[in-house]
Amino acid sequence: MSEQMIRAEDFGRVAVLMGGTSAEREVSLVSGAAVLEALQKRGVDAVAVDGIPALVTGLVNKKYDRVFNILHGNKGGGENGVLQGLLESFDVPYTGSGVLGSALAMDKIRTKQVWLSLGLPTPRYIRLKRGDDVVAAARNLGLPVIIKPSCEGSSVGVSRVFEESDLEHAVDLASRYPGEMLMEQLIQGSEFSVPVLGEQVLPSIRIVPAGEYYDYHAKYVAEDTSYICPGLEGVAEEEMRALVLKAFKAVGCSGWGRIDVMRDQQGNNYLLEVNTAPGMTSHSLVPKSASQVGIEFDELVWRILADTLKQSSTGA
């Protein structure tokens, strides 16, 4: 079905899945409210659903025809492949990546392993388990490093470490979250985020926080973070977008998403991680980038949902 021919009633009843019980619940609720409003403004029969247990009840009672997943995070969230497997078992189309892409992208260590196997650039790293010698690991990589949970997003549990004396506190913070930890080489340079919408890579965004780093506060609270879009020009922009598309497909992602990239002072790009259900708040990056190519928020949400009609027609 061509995009021009799609009508609001073609979607049936849409569950906008938000909230949940992950560490990113509050961000998800704000994103979900924005998505819900955009769909309803365009005549879609969309309803809010808070968390997977509530969704399951609705699915059992055949209340929903498809799901717009804006549930962020891992445990209790909707980005780790569990939700995707559930929806496929009910034969209900959904937005975003499938089981494999979601599960891989949620795990930063496994994502890096895939990228490295294909020769794609990503910062050097060491897997950390509780009880490992973190000082030895940091000396191996060389300070400064970043320590973070392998399976969380939105800068949850992330620390930048410049002195060995700060390693213990960073590990303590990251170990509050389930799963392995990751120690990563800190790339000194500029931070970018590059959205993908279907087969289209949207303009890069260079992120310039007022503080030293683009942390949780800068992402969701601060009003003085600067976003430069497109973040690069000419060949440099083309190269970054081409790298992002390769990296997105390498992990098995599809539909829409966003990849974070660091660019060092010599102009080398380093892939950081994939977000398969990016934020859709007033601070969020995908809407900022889409608007640069004439795709306003309501249209962006519509296009993301329209991709689920392909699943309906192919039986995916």
Domain ranges of the chain: 3-96, 105-121+188-292, 125-185
The predicted model scores a pTM of 0.90
Query: Average pLDDT over the chain, rounded to whole?
Result: 91
User: For the structural domain made of 3-96, what CATH number should be given?
Assistant: 3.40.50.20
Query: What is d(CA 241, CA 16) in angstroms, rounded to the nearest whole number?
Result: 29
Catalytic annotation, residues: 24, 154, 220, 258, 260, 273, 275, 279
Q: Does domain 125-185 have CATH number 3.40.50.2300?
A: no
Q: Which CATH number fits domain 105-121+188-292: 3.40.630.30, 3.30.470.20, 1.10.287.70, 3.40.50.11540?
A: 3.30.470.20
pLDDT higher than 80, residue 59: yes
d(CA 33, CA 292): 23
Is residue 212's pLDDT more than 90?
no
The closest alpha carbon to 255, from 10, 21, 70, belongs to 70
For residues 256 and 309, give the distance between their C-alpha atoms in angstroms, rounded to a whole number: 14
- Single-letter residue type at 205: I
pLDDT at 215: 55
The predicted structure's pLDDT at residue 3: 63
Q: What is the pLDDT of residue 180?
A: 87
Q: For residue range 23-36, what is the model confidence (pLDDT) as tens digits?
A: 788 989 999 999 99
**CA 165 – CA 135 distance, rounded (Å):** 9
Q: How much of the chain exceeds pLDDT 90, in percent?
A: 77
Query: Residue 229's pLDDT band (boundaries 50, 70, 90)?
Result: very high
> How far apart are alpha carbons 229 and 243 in whole angstroms?
17
Residues β-bridged to residue 67: 15, 94
